Structure 1
Amino acid sequence: MATTTPNLEFSRLSSAVSLYTPPSDANISASKADPTTIIICQWMGASPKSRGLNFIYHQHHSLFPNARIISIRSLPEFFIATSTASRLSAIKPTVSAIEADPATEPRILVHLFSNGGSLGFVDVCSLYKNASGRILPVKAVLLDSSPGQPTLQEGWAAMSLTLPKSLLWYPGAALVLFSLAITAIGKNVFGLETLVDKTRGWLNDWTFVDKSAKRLYIYSEADKLTGWKDVERHAEEARKDSVEVSLLKETETAHVQHAFKDSERYWQRVKELLESVGA
């Protein structure tokens, strides 16, 4: 992974949303298939200074230099203690950022990571539908390490990665374990859907998610947080609804590491997906 590339300059729109706008004088020729806006829905707990995110931004900027980039954070509290209204309020500026695309024919690419990114995407779709009365028009969606149906152990593994590496780890861990226990009781005893379960279903809810968007699911047999069978099952459900779906299955890469460990193949598939949209 490149480490010396300078960060792109993002404008902070809210605690969870940032926008990169390419220089107006860039004057770089672009294919008609290239996206004009890229929405990146981060994995849960990703740091704004993450080298991984910086790599993702620069890969997109290298491929599509004229595209704006909207980056949406997935905060751990979204899954533990935040109300739906507060969560949606945090990412609401995404809607106005999308509508500010100056292109005559806007083309949106969504790149989401893990279940946190999936939640961010469906929240944006919901906000856009409520604000405009229309389904968010998306050309293509890249689903990296998502969606899963995590067990209690997988849920702990995911949430524990976001805990501070200090004495605050202990109260944080206690809160996470308590939340997971309550969620497990609600699901197994009372049959209540978890937020992750709901998100999985919302991804294929065509009342507010664009059914015409092509999808590329990127996942791995070695992923300890998102089961590969869960991903393939979801892809098949979408395919049965006539969504155009393709798969990129890895065998050795870990959770949300596919773009870095098998970079050449990963980004080649991204280019091919966008080219197929423009065909």
Structure 2
Amino acid sequence: MSSDIQNSIPPILSSMVQLGPAIFLKDFPQAPQKHDKPLTIVLLFWMNAPLRPAAKYISEYGQLAPDARIIAIFTSASDFFIRNSDGAQRRRITPVLDALLSTAKDGDGGSLYVHAFSNGGCTTLRYLAVAYRDATGKPLPANAMLIDSAPGITSMSRAVKALSYSFPRFFLWRVLLSTAVWGWLLVLATLGWLSRRKHPSYFLREGLNDQSLIRGKVERCYVYSKEDDLIYWKDVEEHAGQARARGWNVSREVFEDSPHVGHMRTDPQRYWKIVARLLKIAMA
């Protein structure tokens, strides 16, 4: 397993098949029959998501949709800032693409539900959608989507803060790592300015609202909080408005006092009720 996510593996992940360094699969309990419409749940976790919190989401989804296949994708800081070329990202998500294509029969491939967390998960989702379109000539056929704490317009200060959650607690290490990250981000920003390349968050936000990448006119729910210190809530609402204008069926769920990707912990009953509604739509 990649050192980026190496730590004590929760039982639910130990029971899953590892398709790649940071990709886990819980396959269908029974092989789908020819005329079945099997449900695949794709969970794209936030950058440097710890395994134990992520496992709670996987376990709950397994209870809500016991007959579904679940694919969990983890994204590391290295995927953002080092292995960030289009080729490297394509290789990273190839096992997920192969799994989705493996059920593409009868011109359908079953139902697809997508849950993307933060800009990290949404960035991975965009790369997956591009790879799917390149392979099939069609947009990613999501039947319902939940976008959790995203998408935001990234600044360097927020990027450093996001990375700092995975820093060691020792003060001196945190200072040294923060300084190194600031320096690296300044280098990337300078190179982007010199090459006149648009900021990655632009491609992320545009990609999620591109009907050539993600199937349009389906249900999409944004879950966010005005207390989120990494993703500005107005950025989320702006993107939701653009999605509605471009044809998606958009709903918004604002949580009170919940931190970044912390809405499930803040109000689990409400959170899983939202998920259950979207799963029902995906399976309809």
| TM-score, normalised via structure 2 length | 0.84
In structure 2, how many angstroms separate the alpha carbons of the residues matched to 1:6 and 1:90?
Answer: 24
Unpaired segments ≥5 residues, structure 2: 1-9
**8 A Cα contact 2:227 2:259, kept in partner:** yes
1:24 matches 2:17: no
| TM-score, normalised via structure 1 length | 0.86
Unpaired segments ≥5 residues, structure 1: 26-31
Q: State the SS of the aligned residue for 1:245.
A: strand
In structure 1, how many angstroms separate the alpha carbons of the residues matched to 2:70 and 2:281?
Answer: 21
* Residues 50-101 of structure 1, C-alpha deviations (whole Å, 9 max, x = no match): 2211110011111100011111111101221222211221111111111233
Q: What is the aligned-residue identity percentage?
A: 31
Q: Which amino acid aligns with 1:99?
A: L
**1:58 matched residue in structure 2:** 59
**2:118 matched residue in structure 1:** 114
* Residues 114-164 of structure 1, C-alpha deviations (whole Å, 9 max, x = no match): 000001111111111111222221101100000001222211111222334
**1:126 matched residue in structure 2:** 130
In structure 1, how many angstroms separate the alpha carbons of the residues matched to 2:193 and 2:259?
Answer: 28
RMSD: 2.6
In structure 1, how many angstroms separate the alpha carbons of the residues matched to 2:193 and 2:270?
Answer: 40
> Equivalent of 1:85, from 63, 80, 87?
87
Q: Compare the two structures and name the one with the higher helix fraction.
A: 2
**1:173 matched residue in structure 2:** 178
**2:68 matched residue in structure 1:** 67
In structure 1, how many angstroms separate the alpha carbons of the residues matched to 2:29 and 2:278?
Answer: 26
Number of corresponding residues: 266
Moved more, 161-170 or 53-62: 161-170
1:44 matches 2:47: yes
Cα 1:240–1:186 shift into 2, 3 Å:
farther
In structure 2, how many angstroms separate the alpha carbons of the residues matched to 1:102 and 1:189?
Answer: 43
**1:29 matched residue in structure 2:** none
Q: Return the offset for 1:275.
A: 2.9
In structure 1, how many angstroms separate the alpha carbons of the residues matched to 2:155 and 2:142?
Answer: 31
* Residues 170-210 of structure 1, C-alpha deviations (whole Å, 9 max, x = no match): 66434421222234446678764222222111111122221
Q: State the SS of the aligned residue for 2:20.
A: coil
**1:10 matched residue in structure 2:** 16
Q: State the SS of the aligned residue for 1:12.
A: strand
**8 A Cα contact 1:79 1:195, kept in partner:** no
In structure 1, how many angstroms separate the alpha carbons of the residues matched to 2:91 and 2:282?
Answer: 32
**8 A Cα contact 2:129 2:213, kept in partner:** yes
- Mapping for residues 1-279 of structure 1, pairs under 5 Å: 6-8=11-13, 9-24=15-30, 36-47=39-50, 50-82=51-83, 83-101=85-103, 106-165=110-169, 172-185=177-190, 192-277=197-282
